[in-house]
Amino acid sequence: LDRSVASNWPWFYFLEDYFFPVCLLVIHFFANLQPLHQELYSMHPSAFFLPTFLEAVRTNTEESIASIMTEPIPGVFSFAMLQPNFCDMLLEEVENFEKWVHAMKFKIMRPNTMNKYGAVLDDFGLEAMLNQFMEEFIAPISKVFYPEVGGGTLDSHHAFVVEYGKDRDVELGFHVDDSEVTLNVCLGKQFSGGELYFRGIRCENHVNSETQHEEMYDYSHVPGRAVLHRGRHRHGARPTSSGLRMNLLLWCRSSVFREMKKYQMDFSSWCGECQREKRERQIQCVKATKHFLGVLEGQ
């Protein structure tokens, strides 16, 4: 094969980007990773979700959804979501993946650039179930609460489990997610610490701007309970001081919103700093007008 032909070969690029998932697929085929809980691989709403959650989403009105939520700070919603048995099964399934990855002498299995411990669930055959999870159980909520960031047009996801504790990741620095809407559900097990702290919603231009006092909020995880927030809501995780904490993360994305954002200039419908600047401009404008009128009266 001619060298220039080889470097233009599309598969070459494909493998560069998808090397690890492709390896997993090939090895699944030959080494046959056995699922531990087959029932996780297709959607069984009543086995996965708590009756209160299911009822609220199935009724699918703004009132029914709001009735199961608490909103401790604007834009952060928390609600009881998962059956304890589903949490346990998912934890066992992740442990099963990890054992297998270890036996296959794989070392790299990072769920994202910031977490070292955990697993990308989509790479292990759970992608179809998790897509249905997003479309039928997250999209109805995000359509109501996050319409201005593409909550009504979610069309892809990235799903992973993260692990915190001794011999795992300890904490997670301040960051934003590569998502429009993030679902974060604690799966267990026993732990202390590991609070999720929030520091205001910011557009790309303002991601490093100061936090206002009223934007600070700390959330303590409870197994089975979910937190939903915009991907652009700045946050981090405090150290998990003892035990082991595992969380399911579902980053929900909207290709429509990402395309529209390229042409958008004003993010004051959701960015806290854009809103603050806009208010400041209005105050200055009123002051200038008053001053002008005062001058006229004085004449």
Chain residues that interact with Zn ion, rule: CB under 5 A: 203, 206, 267, 271, 273-274
CB of 287 to Zn ion, least distance (A): 23
CB atoms under 10 Å from CB of 58, counted, come to 13
- Residue closer to Zn ion by CB (options 108, 265) is 265
Cβ nearer to Zn ion, comparing 90 with 271: 271
Please, which residue, 16 or 266, has the CB nearer to Zn ion? 266
Residue 70 identity (one-letter amino acid): T
Residue/partner pairs of 91-97 with CB below 8 Å, 24 or more apart: 91/187, 91/188, 91/189, 91/246, 92/36, 92/37, 93/35, 93/36, 93/37, 93/40, 93/124, 94/118, 94/119, 94/121, 94/161, 94/246, 96/34, 96/35, 96/36, 97/33, 97/124
CA–CA separation, 49 and 69 (whole Å): 15
Residue 115 or 179 with smaller CB distance to Zn ion: 179
- Least spacing, CB of residue 232 vs Zn ion, in Å: 9
In the complex, least distance from residue 251 CB atom to Zn ion, rounded to whole angstroms? 21
Q: How far is the CB of 270 from Zn ion (least distance, A)?
A: 8
Minimum distance between the CB of residue 208 and Zn ion, rounded to whole angstroms?
Answer: 11
Report d(CA 158, CA 21) in Å as an integer: 13
**Nearer to Zn ion among residue 119 and residue 271 (C-beta):** 271
